[in-house]
């Protein structure tokens, strides 16, 4: 089936609208939680890790970098977690209609992307208040977001395929995400790691596309002195790894998903 057919486009749009409307249905302040939730999490992590544990290495606008890293990680968490459960949650629809199944995963990731854009607006307001100078380099957010989107969608495809048959993937993925957050320079910076004589660890960490995206965002948007993978590794082939991985993971996830998609309805 062609994903770009008019019928599929209409279905995708309606799914995105429905998911977004239902996101905070029944809550008192509704979609304001899209802004309040990351701000509350940021406040807690800032007080614990910056004020009390002193993870701040003196990098200018450190708090803004922390908030940017958090909302970027939260997008990946939301996109992959919702994408993982999307096929199972739409089981009734799968049994009734014949359409491109990948639309369901795309709609979940798109919903997370809308939330991410809202969160980024909060980050930019916070950055302006903190005196971050905005330049044309802010446009780098477009290719970096595409990279992040490819990675998240590819992982979501793989998880959604596995979750249809193996529900244990849910709690396992929660643990992986928790471990991944602490293994990614979000709360702490690369400088913090290197200052403690762990440069080799920092190099391995930067092979993670999420770490590369977060550090590039900080470097080009907040503070040009923030380290990137190019500052740590001189070999251009190795530097290319985190940039190429999202494309590879997306293609792999899409192939795996489509190979099993025909069996989803009968399994569910």
Query: Is residue 224 in a domain?
Result: yes
| Per-run averaged pLDDT (10 residues), the chain, 268 residues | 64 75 61 72 74 68 86 94 89 71 89 89 87 88 95 96 91 94 86 83 92 94 86 91 96 93 74
Supply the DSSP symbol for 40.
Answer: H
Residue 192: predicted pLDDT: 80
Query: Is residue 84 in a domain?
Result: yes
**Are residues 162 and 169 in contact, defined by beta-carbon separation less than 8 angstroms?**
yes
Distance between CA atoms of 261 and 252, rounded to whole angstroms? 14
**Are residues 97 and 104 in contact, defined by beta-carbon separation less than 8 angstroms?**
no
User: Both ends of the chain: CA-CA distance in Å?
Assistant: 21
Helices of type H across the chain:
6-22, 33-45, 62-89, 91-96, 102-129, 141-165, 169-182, 190-194, 199-205, 209-217, 229-232, 236-239, 241-260, 264-267
Cα–Cα nearest to 219, from 65, 26, 41: 65
Query: Is residue 28 in a domain?
Result: no
Cα–Cα nearest to 149, from 206, 109, 199, 94: 109
Count of C-beta atoms within a 10 Å radius of residue 39? 15
Q: 14 vs 9, 32, 108, 176, 262, CA distance in Å?
A: 9, 22, 12, 31, 23
User: What domain range is 47 assigned to?
Assistant: 6-19+37-267
Query: Is residue 248 in a domain?
Result: yes
Residue 173: predicted pLDDT: 95
Query: Is residue 221 in a domain?
Result: yes
In this prediction the pTM is 0.88
Q: How many domains does the chain have?
A: 1
Query: Is residue 26 in a domain?
Result: no
Residue 7: predicted pLDDT: 67
Residue 56: predicted pLDDT: 63
Residue 29: predicted pLDDT: 60
Query: Is residue 29 in a domain?
Result: no
Distance between CA atoms of 164 and 58, rounded to whole angstroms? 46
Residue 61: predicted pLDDT: 81
Query: Is residue 32 in a domain?
Result: no
């Amino acid at each position: 089936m062609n994903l770009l057919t008019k019928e599929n486009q209409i279905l995708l749009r309606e799914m995105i609208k429905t998911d977004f409307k239902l996101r905070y249905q029944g809550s008192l302040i509704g979609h304001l939680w899209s802004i309040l939730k990351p701000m509350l999490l940021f406040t807690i992590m800032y007080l614990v890790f910056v004020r009390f544990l002193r993870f701040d290495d003196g990098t200018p606008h450190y708090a803004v970098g922390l908030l940017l890293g958090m909302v970027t990680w939260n997008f990946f968490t939301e996109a992959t977690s919702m994408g993982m459960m999307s096929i199972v949650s739409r089981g009734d629809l799968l049994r009734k209609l014949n359409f491109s199944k990948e639309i369901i995963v795309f709609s979940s990731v798109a919903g997370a992307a809308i939330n991410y854009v809202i969160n980024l607006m909060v980050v930019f307001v916070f950055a302006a208040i903190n005196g971050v100078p905005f330049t044309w380099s802010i446009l780098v957010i477009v290719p970096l977001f595409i990279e992040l989107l490819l990675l998240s969608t590819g992982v979501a495809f793989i998880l959604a395929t596995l979750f249809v048959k193996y529900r244990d993937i849910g709690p396992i993925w929660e643990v992986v995400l928790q471990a991944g957050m602490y293994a990614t320079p979000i709360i702490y910076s690369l400088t913090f790691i290197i200052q403690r004589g762990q440069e080799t660890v920092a190099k391995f960490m930067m092979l993670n596309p999420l770490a590369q995206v977060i550090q590039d965002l900080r470097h080009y948007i907040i503070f040009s002195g923030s380290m990137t993978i190019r500052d740590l590794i001189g070999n251009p082939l190795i530097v290319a790894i985190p940039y190429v991985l999202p494309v590879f993971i997306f293609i792999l996830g899409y192939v795996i998903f489509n190979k099993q998609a025909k069996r989803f309805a009968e399994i569910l």
